[in-house]
Each structure stands twice: as C-alpha cells, then as structure tokens.
Amino acid sequence: MAQRVVVTGASSGIGAATVRRFTEIGWDTVAVARREDRLQQLAQETGCLPVVCDITDEAQVAQLAETVRETGGATGLVNNAGGAIGLDRVEDASNDEWRRMFEVNVIGLRSVTAALLPVLREGATRDGWASILNLTSTAGHGVYKHGGGYIAAKSAAHAVTEVLRLELAGEPIRVMELAPGLVHTEEFTLNRMRGDVDAAARLGIYDDVEPLTPEDVARVLVGTFEQPPHVNQDLIILRPVAQSSHVDTHKGPLVPRES
Ligand SMILES: NC(=O)c1ccc[n+]([C@@H]2O[C@H](COP(=O)([O-])OP(=O)(O)OC[C@H]3O[C@@H](n4cnc5c(N)ncnc54)[C@H](OP(=O)(O)O)[C@@H]3O)[C@@H](O)[C@H]2O)c1
C-alpha cells in the first residue's frame, strides 16, 4: 500500500510543488488549502485528494482529520501553510496583521498537528513509522529589520517544532523542520505586500539573483521522508548560494575570484 501524506498550503508555491514531488515518488497525497479551484487543478494533475480547509478554523481542521481518517489515513504531515503580511517597523505594525500571521503560521500549525496526531499514530501502528515536517523560514532563525511579525511567528513555529519532538520522544514519529531562505513563489511577496502587484515588483527581491524554486524546496523536503525511518533530520536550513545569510543576498552573477 502506498504511503500517504497530508500537505497544507497546497494550492500554490512550495505546497503545490511538494504534492507534485510526493506524487512522483509514488506517495498518495491529501492537498489542503482554502481555494478549491486551485486544489481541483492540482488533483487533476496529480491525483491528490483535495480538501478545502482554513487551518485557522478549528471546526474545519477537525473535519479535515476526519476526512483523512475515513479516506485511508496518513503516515505523513507537512505543515506548510503560512505567510507574511507587511514590512513594517515594530512600532508601526498592525496588531490585526500580527494576529493573522500567528493564526496561520503558529496556531494553525499546532491545530492541524494536534488533530492529525491520532491519525498519524494509527498510520505508525500500521506501517511502523510516521513523519511530521514543519515548513518554517530562515526568518525563524535570525532577525532583520521590518519583518518583526513574520520573524516572531516563524521563530514560534521553530520553537513549537522543537517542543513537539521532545514530547513525542519514544514514539516512532519523526519531527522535522525545513527553513528556507529566498524562494521565488508566485504569491509569497504579493501577499506580503497585501496584494499590491506594483509594490511587490518595486521591492525587486527576485531581481538579479537566482533564488530557490518551489521545486528545489520540495525536492529537499521530500528527501527527508525518503530517509530510513530511524533518521530524523531535525532542522534543514536551505538557501540559494547567492544568499550567504538572511541579510546578505548577492545581486549579479556569481563569479569565482582570482586566487
Ligand atoms: N517564498 C519564500 O521566500 C519562503 C521562504 C521561507 C519560508 N516560506 C514559507 O513557506 C510556506 C509556503 O510559502 P510559499 O512561498 O509557497 O507561499 P504561497 O505561495 O503564498 O503559499 C501559501 C499557501 O498557504 C495557504 N494558506 C494560507 N493561509 C491558509 C489558511 N488559513 N488555511 C489553509 N491554507 C492557507 C495558501 O492557500 P489558500 O490561499 O488557497 O488557502 C497557499 O497554498 C509558508 O509557510 C511560508 O511562510 C516561504
């Protein structure tokens, strides 16, 4: 029987690429997001089970867990849904936007994990093991100016991942974290700029640099699930070569220096 994984935030970017990659290696996937049309397109392409769910709504998350159980269970969970809103100084930020970032990046992640743990335990009882991977960010591992809400939320998601690993000790469930740097996805920066296409373009984040692609992230992410079950890759920091730290992005070609 094929292994089965639940991927949140599957309607675009890294999540959609992750569903495609799992499909390539023969896993069944459950694709979770709010936008049904996009999930349906992905389902036609990959055969995933699309489940519309707002992970910040507890009743919808409970229903998600029930749907996963009734349709064959799971041995994998990728908590990928998330994102940033705004590039404001701490003193200028909106509490409402900070709440929304915490709701999706931290509380939604906790909520989905808690709801699916019984299903993952059933999977581990059947197949011997299960895996959880949380998609955080290099923003959760170092600070920069004007991103306080997102940095605080992803730092919290990192902390939750570490606590969960401690709490699941003794069970055949690995708990992993993948923290990417600059990834060029269609919507991340657009959402960060509150849907303002011109403002997103003006930032020039992806200009004159080769960022990671969603496929790069998905390849590494799925690779962690392909390791023997006793191998737990606690934390992977994944950056493009052009980004030597979260605050140092080299613009222009990468050229060997003369020695
Ligand atoms: N792009 C980057 O540079 C980068 C770098 C490091 C980390 N990350 C992290 O990687 C993850 C994916 O990022 P991405 O670049 O692929 O972003 P994206 O293209 O904006 O995708 C975000 C996904 O999350 C889903 N989502 C948002 N709110 C949701 C909710 N309340 N309930 C269910 N699904 C929800 C969205 O789907 P719907 O709108 O259809 O619900 C979408 O599928 C995020 O956690 C992000 O913070 C991104």
Question: pLDDT per residue over 167-199, tens digit each?
Answer: 999 999 999 999 999 999 999 999 999 999 999
Low-confidence ranges of the chain (pLDDT < 50): none
Closest residue CA from atom 46 of ligand 1? 83
CA distance 242 to 236: 17
Residues whose CB is less than 8 angstroms from the CB of residue 121 and which lie 6 or more positions away in sequence, other chains included: 130, 171, 173
Closest residue CA from atom 20 of ligand 1? 188
CA 169 to chain centre: 23
45-54, Cβ contacts within 8 angstroms, sequence gap of 24 or more: 45/20, 46/19, 46/20, 47/23, 48/10, 48/19, 48/23, 53/8
pLDDT at 2: 78
pLDDT at 184: 97
Cα 170 to ligand 1 centre (Å): 31
Tens digit of each residue's pLDDT (9 = 90 or more) over 125-183: 999 999 999 999 999 999 999 999 999 999 999 999 999 999 999 999 999 999 999 99
Question: Which helix (DSSP H) or strand (DSSP E) does residue 225 occupy?
Answer: helix 214-226
Catalytic residue among 150, 173, 183, 240: 150
Could you please state the CATH topology (level 3) that the domain comprising 4-247 is classified under.
Rossmann fold (3.40.50)
| Residue 144 falls in the annotated catalytic set | no
The binding-site residues of ligand 1, defined as CB within 6 angstroms of any ligand atom, are: 8-15, 33-35, 38, 54-56, 80-83, 104, 108, 135, 137, 180, 182-183, 185-188, 191
CA-to-CA dists, residue 78 to 123, 136, 243, 251, 257, angstroms:
15, 11, 25, 32, 40
